[in-house]
Amino acid sequence: MRRLGLVVHPTRPLEGVLGELSAWTAARGVDLGQVRVEGQTRSVADQVEPDECDLMVALGGDGTTLAALHAGAPCSTAVLGIACGSVGVLTSVAADLAIAALDSVEAGDWTAVDIPGIEVAGADRPAEVAINDLTVIRDGPNQVIVSIVVDDVLYARVAGDGLVVATALGSSAYTMAAGGPILAPGLDGLVLTPLAPHGGSTPPLVVGLDSSVELTVDPGHGGLRHEIDGRPASFAGDRLSVRPRAAYAKLVRLADEEPRLTGLRRRGLIADGPRVLIRDARGDARPL
């Protein structure tokens, strides 16, 4: 490794882990720089470009890791996510294990995993790519109506707060919070989850990687907004074209890394039912 590029959270305390990373790189003659991302004003190292880095390290939470993945995507630079005061899913390594993780990378005990994306195109601009999700959501007191067409076939017209379109990786974020399903690791596709639909029957819909989705949105008098991975995005017109993208960015997966579903349980995002926990507490092995 010749150069390591940092992407840092704008406000969280990072002095401890930054000191450890600086000592680790200095001991090995590795250059340590900072990859600047949109809206970042915090400076912790000299600026470097993603294509100049052998590895990028994101210090923060899932938002910081998403920013790093977007920055590294054009040049396929892999990103290691370090959780600094976060319960995120993409940040697979706790801050106190950052040096152990870098030792594993140095030893070759890791792989660069392809992260899928969602290409979102409007009528007025080139496509943007989401890693977690695209959200179309009302921006006023009224409902919006979203017409969902999959492979030229109408699925439903949904009146409510809007719609979330997520990748399998992003399905444990806004989609899960909205009552949609989690797509298990290894399952390719997108999940479309209506937000607070008013009447009708519009369960979340899972579509495959070969499918195309067209959304036509009536914003009503209150208007709407678009978000790409939680960031504001602007698309003119009432139509969006949405397509899965099989390999967009690269994320570091360590050889001894826990399965993603295990991580969701450990973080408390997935929890057993109260009856199961009560039975465990009393040592009762009888069937439920």
The answer to whether residues 190 and 214 touch, using CB atoms and an 8 Å cutoff, is no
**Helices 98-106 and 15-28, axial angle in degrees (round to 10):** 30
Length of the chain: 288
Structure tokens at 172: 């444990």
Q: Are 78 and 105 in contact (CB under 8 A)?
A: no
Q: Is 62 a catalytic residue?
A: yes
CB atoms within 10 A of CB 243: 18
Answer yes or no: are the C-beta atoms of 93 and 133 closer than 8 Å: no
DSSP-H helix ranges across 73-188:
98-106, 174-177
Amino acid symbol at 250: K
Could you identify the residue written with the tokens 């390591």?
4
Catalytic member of 62, 133, 161, 229? 62
Radius of gyration of the chain (CA): 21
Q: What is the DSSP string of 58-100?
A: EEESHHHHHHHHHHHGGGT--EEEEESS---SS--EEGGGHHH
Residues involved in catalysis: 62
